Each structure stands twice: as C-alpha cells, then as structure tokens.
C-alpha cells in the first residue's frame, strides 16, 4: 500500500506540472490536505513529510484531534471546508485560520462578532452553489455579488475569495470557469476549488486553494455523507 508521504510527493509533482502547463506562477496554488475521518496517526506522516495546510469539514471532529497535533508541530494552518452553523461560530473562529463556507447572513454576522471579540485574523471564502443543487450549501451565482457586498458592507468582513464544489455527476470545468468569472467581477483574488478527481482542471481555471482528501489519504471509511451532499457539522 502506498503511504501518505508517497502520495503527497506524487500530488505535488502533478500540481507543479499543471501549474507550469497553465502559466501559473510558483507559489500561487496552496494544497490543503483534507483529513476528515482520519485520526492523528494517519495525519502525522503528512506533517513529517512537510505538509502544513489541512482541512476538516466538521468543527467538532477538528477540535478533537488538531489541538494535540498543532502542539507537536509549529506552523500548521487549519481550514474549515464544511458547512458552519452559527452556534459553532465561536469555536470555529478559535480553531480555524480559514473558513470556506460563508453562505448566509446569519453566519456572516456570527463570524463578524466572534472575529472582533476574539481578535482573530480569519481568512474567509464565500461558498457558491455553482450547480444550484437544492441539497448543497452555498449562495446561488446570481446572489453572489449582493451577498459578498453585504458581508463587506453590513457585516464588515474581509472576503478573500470564492469556494465551490461542482456537482459530482457533471464535468467540473464550466463550474470552475463560472467561479473564476464571479471572482474576477468581484475583485476577489482567491478561488477555493479542485478536489482529488479534478484539481489539475481547477488549476487550469485559476484555483488558488485546492482541497485534496482521498488522493492523499486513501479512501475514507464509509461515512453518512458524501462530498457532494454535505451534512452540517
């Protein structure tokens, strides 16, 4: 069986190749290792291999394993990539450096309050439901400009970029193109897009933050939710 460090090296090679092929400058794509469902023992080999950016989709699960791992190694950053409930905003702001799932005024208000109260600097992405799937989190493409404006103007939040999870059964390219177009229109420089199956395509369309789970960690144990149909956490 291939170890995490070997998979990481292979993914880095593919990222570098895709970046070179599409004229992306060095350092313009950040790899986030998605470690949801995996325990500390399976994560440590990646930290040993030099990975420092990690993503989790549930606040509670991340709170259970990351404080210890962070205590062992300096410089680890943690991204919340799953949906956030406003009653978990305080915990999320305390634990995560980046939150990819801002998609409602209620969440934006709760985050603004906690960011101020805790004096924390948290990087924020607005999640866009590019496929307009009823079960999926995110604002619709038509609502994105108005929502980003409210985040900035009403809630006083700095928004760094947009995030999307394309529908599993569709070709991702048009969804990445749409997210890139919206980001450009709104002057938002960062794009969180691309997962195990499509990160090279995402890099071609301008992804700056790619979220890779199974290609790095191996298959996840059977879970009640799929990436395309996220339960709240």
Ligand X SMILES: *Cc1c(COP(=O)(O)O)cnc(C)c1O
11 binds ligand X per the rule CB under 6 A: no
Question: Quick count: other Cβ atoms within 10 Å of Cβ 12?
Answer: 14
**Minimal CB distance to ligand X: which residue?**
213
Of positions 19, 34, 93, 179, contacts ligand X by CB under 6 A: 34
Nearest CB to ligand X, comparing residues 63 and 215: 215
129 contacts ligand X (rule: CB under 6 A): no
Rounded Cα distance between 35 and 216, Å, is 9
When the beta carbons of 47 and 80 are compared against ligand X, the nearer one is 80
Contact between 195 and ligand X (CB under 6 A)?
A: yes
Answer yes or no whether residue 84 interacts with ligand X by CB under 6 A: no
Q: Decide whether 152 or 214 has the Cβ nearer to ligand X.
A: 214
The answer to whether the beta carbons of residues 194 and 216 sit under 8 Å apart is: no
Which of 93, 148, 165, 178 contacts ligand X by CB under 6 A? 165
Tokens describing residue 70 = 């962070």
- Which positions from 89 to 128 touch ligand X by CB under 6 A, shown as an x/- string? ----------------------------------------
- What minimum distance in Å lies between the beta carbon of 127 and ligand X? 9
Residue 214 interacting with ligand X (CB under 6 A): yes
Quick check: 210 binds ligand X (CB under 6 A)?
no
Verify binding: residue 166, ligand X, rule CB under 6 A: no
Q: Identify which of residues 11 and 47 has a Cβ nearer to ligand X in the complex.
A: 11
33 near ligand X, rule: CB under 6 A: no
Q: What residue ranges bind ligand X (CB under 6 A)?
A: 34, 36, 57, 81-82, 165, 195-197, 211-215, 227, 230
């Amino acid at each position: 069986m291939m170890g995490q460090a070997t998979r990481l090296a292979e993914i880095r090679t593919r990222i570098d190749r895709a970046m070179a092929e599409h004229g992306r400058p060095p350092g313009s794509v950040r790899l986030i290792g998605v470690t949801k469902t995996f325990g500390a023992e399976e994560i440590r080999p990646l930290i040993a291999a030099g990975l420092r950016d990690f993503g989790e989709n549930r606040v509670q699960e991340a709170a259970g394993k990351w404080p210890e791992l962070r205590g062992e190694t300096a410089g680890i950053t943690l991204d919340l990539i799953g949906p956030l409930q406003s009653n978990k905003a305080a915990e999320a702001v305390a634990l995560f450096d980046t939150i990819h799932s801002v998609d409602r005024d209620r969440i934006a208000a709760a985050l603004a309050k906690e960011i101020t109260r805790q004096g924390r600097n948290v990087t924020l992405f607005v999640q866009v439901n590019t496929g307009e799937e009823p079960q999926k989190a995110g604002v619709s493409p038509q609502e994105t400009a108005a929502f980003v404006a409210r985040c900035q103007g009403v809630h006083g939040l700095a928004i760094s970029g947009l995030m999307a999870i394309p529908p599993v059964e569709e070709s991702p390219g048009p969804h990445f193109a749409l997210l890139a177009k919206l980001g450009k229109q709104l002057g938002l420089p960062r794009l969180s897009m691309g997962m195990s199956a499509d990160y090279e395509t995402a890099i071609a369309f301008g992804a700056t933050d790619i979220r890779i789970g199974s290609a790095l960690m191996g298959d996840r144990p059977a879970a009640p939710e799929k990436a395309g149909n996220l339960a709240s956490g």
